[in-house]
């Protein structure tokens, strides 16, 4: 036994898994799931193909792991920061900001994330599991808006649609960042989003 009650064994395994996952993320992000070969991932990770299969049972599982890990981390961070503020407006801001900042830190992940998002419409049979990954985000937003409405902070708007709108606006802004346009201060994008959702485009 060593640190944190883990055997040396376990630590090495964990490390290898992480290495492979990191390589996989890079390759998947650049070429998408189908165009990526296991050999490429192995090469990027600096190991042989067989080694990959010592740590993951299949190509889909690697993809899934890469996606899942990021989504979980992002979701945890998001809930944390959303919970840390009071007003609904600040919560929405926290939601958008967390995502955009996370995007700047983990570009590769977001390429996979949003690619997978569209598998929901015409993808593999696992689409239900994929859907679940996004549902939790939409639910979070929906609850925020329900609460905000109950407290009279926002007017009477369909929460489900509102959640979708915020989710997608964020997607759009992030996509633009990733494509190179609008690379500057995340704050600009965040301000824009919150501002639009709050007061719309009407002249004041």
Partner DNA sequence: TTGTCTAATGACCAGACAGTCATTAGACTG
Partner DNA sequence: CAGTCTAATGACTGTCTGGTCATTAGACAA
Cα–Cα distance, 85 to 148 (Å, whole number): 13
Cα–Cα distance, 1 to 16 (Å, whole number): 19
Residues at the interface with its own copies (CB under 8 A):
28-35, 110-112, 114-115, 117-124, 131, 145, 148, 152-155, 157-158, 160-162, 164-165, 167-169, 171-173, 175-176, 178-179, 181-182, 189, 192-193, 195-204
> Which of its own copies, DNA, none binds 162 (CB below 5-8 Å, type-dependent)?
its own copies
CB nearer its own copies, residue 13 or residue 175: 175
Tokens of 116: 């997978």
Cα–Cα distance, 24 to 41 (Å, whole number): 5
CB of 97 to its own copies, least distance (A): 15
Enumerate residues 1-30 that contact DNA by CB under 7 A. 9, 12, 16
| First-last CA distance in the chain | 66
CB of 15 to its own copies, least distance (A): 26
Residue 118 to residues 36, 83, 107, 171, 192: CA-CA distances in angstroms?
A: 18, 29, 17, 12, 25
> Which of its own copies, DNA, none binds 176 (CB below 5-8 Å, type-dependent)?
its own copies
> Which of its own copies, DNA, none binds 75 (CB below 5-8 Å, type-dependent)?
none
């Amino acid at each position: 036994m060593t640190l944190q009650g883990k055997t040396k064994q376990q630590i090495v395994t964990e490390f290898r898994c992480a290495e492979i996952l990191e390589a996989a993320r890079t390759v998947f992000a650049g070429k998408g799931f189908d165009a990526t070969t296991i050999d490429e991932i192995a090469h990027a990770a600096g190991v042989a193909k067989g080694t990959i299969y010592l740590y993951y049972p299949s190509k889909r599982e690697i993809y899934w792991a890469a996606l899942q890990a990021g989504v979980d981390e992002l979701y945890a961070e998001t809930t944390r920061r959303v919970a840390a503020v009071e007003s609904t407006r600040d919560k929405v801001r926290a939601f958008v900001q967390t995502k955009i900042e996370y995007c700047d830190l983990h570009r590769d992940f977001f390429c996979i994330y949003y690619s997978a998002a569209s598998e929901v419409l015409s993808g593999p049979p696992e689409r239900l599991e994929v859907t679940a990954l996004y549902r939790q985000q939409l639910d979070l937003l929906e609850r925020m808006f329900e609460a905000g409405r109950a407290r009279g902070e926002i007017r009477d708007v369909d929460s489900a649609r509102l959640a979708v709108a915020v989710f997608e606006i964020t997607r759009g802004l992030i996509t633009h960042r990733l494509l190179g346009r609008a690379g500057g201060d995340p704050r600009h994008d965040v301000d824009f989003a919150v501002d639009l959702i709050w007061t719309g485009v009407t002249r004041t």
